[in-house]
Amino acid sequence: MRLNSHPSGRHFLQIPGPTNVPDRILRAMDHPTIDHRGPEFNALAKKILRSVRQIFQTKQPVIVFPASGTGAWEAALVNTLSPGDTVLMWETGHFASLWKKMADKIGIKAEFMGGDWRKPADPAAIEARLKEDTGHTIKAVCIVHNETSTGVVSDVNAIRRAIDSARHPALLLVDTISSLGSIDYRHDAWGVDVTVAGSQKGLMLPPGLSFNAVSEKAVAASKTSKMTRSFWSWDEMLASNANGWFPYTPATNMLYGLNEACDMLLEEGLDAVFARHARHAEATRAAVKAWDLEILCSDPKAYSGSLTAIVLPEGHDADALRKVALENFNLSLGQGLSKVAGKVFRIGHLGDFNDLMLMGTLSGVEMALGLAKVPHKSGGAQAALTYLRDTAPGAAH
């Protein structure tokens, strides 16, 4: 692809978010801005605030901020904790590390466990640490459900059981930024206190909205929290949202898109959405195994439905491969971050995505592997194609 030339065809945006925004959502956002204090907006807001609860699988409030997921991280911490509080975090990858860095910056003591970036959080180890904390100095356990940098999923339900088994009062705060709307997640059933999410991945929207789903226990904690906060405070949001309003100017056109995104997910059905993502993830892993390359996640039970991180052989630069894919096939792949920079690339297979889009992606990866002279076996795209054909809804079983 010549520099400054316009490539023909669609751009394959196969990073693990932001994801492709479907036409239905783009058309919904292409709407004249309305009065956010008027009756039309009030009806829209009430519908959105009901619908989004279904996506989180909760009956509790979901607070919507005009921000990236990083803002929702901060809101979760500053509303539930006080300066000097200790939180327990598990290092599953780059984003868990960034959440810890944020906690440190705002005056919270973050204790990190784990750290090899290839395995999920260990509920037994968390339970053991909480049992040691007889004085209950640990105020919250913070977990990234699906680590976007590694493609490793932690078992949130098992972690909730571990906290309960330890008879510890710690809150459970969970980042679902790259799993909500893609991988099964149940805020209420799993006893989560704050669920953090963003708009630009499974919700199929552009970046710009972030979310806190909050339990009654979390709201109670916010009443005694001593952290300084204004914009991120839940109090005014909850009071205004109860009547279908926002305490300040909301991201109106993004909310049009969120309304459409919720409709799309609920029309398909959450179980069908999760099954679709799991199927595409399995097809991707079939391709990786046929290429004789290594999946970064070392625990098959923790494989992600949202993305697959792939390790390149020693001596080969994953960013050089990504450059070949972009310049030759107009295909964007996710880069390796911090500890795995240059060592892995990531294929996002989440959001508004289907079989033919996956096959285009995997074909592009296979061609790029060849052009970049990365040692691999051929036939990965064919292995994925065979899997998709045999598991298609109309396939004979």
pLDDT by 10s per residue, the chain, length 397: 455 567 889 999 999 999 999 999 999 999 999 999 999 999 999 999 999 999 999 999 999 999 999 999 999 999 999 999 999 999 999 999 999 999 999 999 999 998 899 999 999 999 999 999 999 999 999 999 999 999 999 999 999 999 999 999 999 999 999 999 999 999 999 999 999 999 999 999 999 999 999 999 999 999 999 999 999 999 999 999 999 999 999 999 999 999 999 999 999 999 999 999 999 999 999 999 999 999 999 999 999 999 999 999 999 999 999 999 999 999 999 999 999 999 999 999 999 999 999 999 999 999 999 999 999 999 999 999 999 999 998 776 5
Is 27 labelled a binding residue? no
Q: 298 φ, ψ to 5°? A: -95, 0
Helix (H, G, I), strand (E, B) or coil at 113: strand
Q: State residue 6's pLDDT score.
A: 74
Question: What is the Rg, in whole angstroms, of the alpha carbon atoms belonging to the chain?
Answer: 21
Q: Do the domains spanning 12-20+269-391 and 23-267 agree at the CATH topology level?
A: no
Q: State residue 115's pLDDT score.
A: 81
Q: Which tokens in the block code for residue 64?
A: 């919507």
Phi-psi region of 85 (alpha: psi -120 to 50; beta: other; left: phi over 0): beta
Q: Are 197 and 69 in contact (CB under 8 A)?
A: yes
Q: State residue 3's pLDDT score.
A: 52
Query: What is the C-alpha separation between 339 and 295, in angstroms, rounded?
Result: 16
Q: 326 φ, ψ to 5°? A: -70, -45
Query: What is the C-alpha separation between 281 and 306, in angstroms, rounded?
Result: 7
Q: State residue 39's pLDDT score.
A: 97
For domain 12-20+269-391, the CATH superfamily is Aspartate Aminotransferase, domain 1 (3.90.1150.10)
Closest alpha carbon to 76 in 149, 123, 141, 138: 141
Strand ranges (E), the chain: 12-14, 62-65, 86-91, 109-114, 138-144, 146-147, 152-153, 171-175, 194-198, 210-214, 294-295, 307-311, 331-335, 344-348
Closest alpha carbon to 196 in 296, 291, 72: 72
Topology given in CATH for the domain delimited by 23-267: Aspartate Aminotransferase; domain 2 (3.40.640)
Q: State residue 154's pLDDT score.
A: 98
Q: State residue 395's pLDDT score.
A: 76
Domain ranges (residues) in the chain: 12-20+269-391, 23-267
Q: State residue 114's pLDDT score.
A: 87
